[in-house]
Amino acid sequence: MARIRLIGTDSPESDQGSFGAEATSALTGMIPPGTEVQIEQDPEPRDRYGRLLAYIWHDGTLVNWRMVREGWAVLLTYPPNVQYVDLFTNAQRRAREEMRGLWRTGGFDCLPVEHRRYRCD
């Protein structure tokens, strides 16, 4: 089984308090282990860690978008994989305005990318 990185999204790390577990739980609720999904790729098929970079579709819904729209992930893009960047940008704006998911509980006071760079207290 390949490790998959959801293109265009970034969720809290497991060492970011309960936020990482909450995001993982949200994703598992959307696509429980063993769920059949459709995978769509952009020009760059793998990241530097060898993970498959993909858009995940389940029941006609783009799971990457849903994670951002429901506030369990934030937008993070690495060109050339930017096919849905406008969709994700709008989803994040709306999730933040509506205080959905981790926006409501302070889970993005320190963005995951900043946490990985040790830039948050």
Cis peptide leading into 45, omega within 30 of 0? no
Residue tagged active-site, from 3, 40, 44, 51: 51
Q: Does residue 40 carry a catalytic annotation?
A: no
Spatial distance between the Cα atoms of 108 and 110, rounded to a whole number of angstroms: 5
Query: Of the listed 5, 22, 66, 69, which one is catalytic?
Result: 5
Name the catalytic one among 13, 46, 96, 100: 13
Instruction: Verify whether residue 13 is a known catalytic residue.
Output: yes
How many helices and strands, by DSSP H and E, does the chain display? 5, 6
Q: Is 51 a catalytic residue?
A: yes
Enumerate the active-site residues: 5, 13, 51
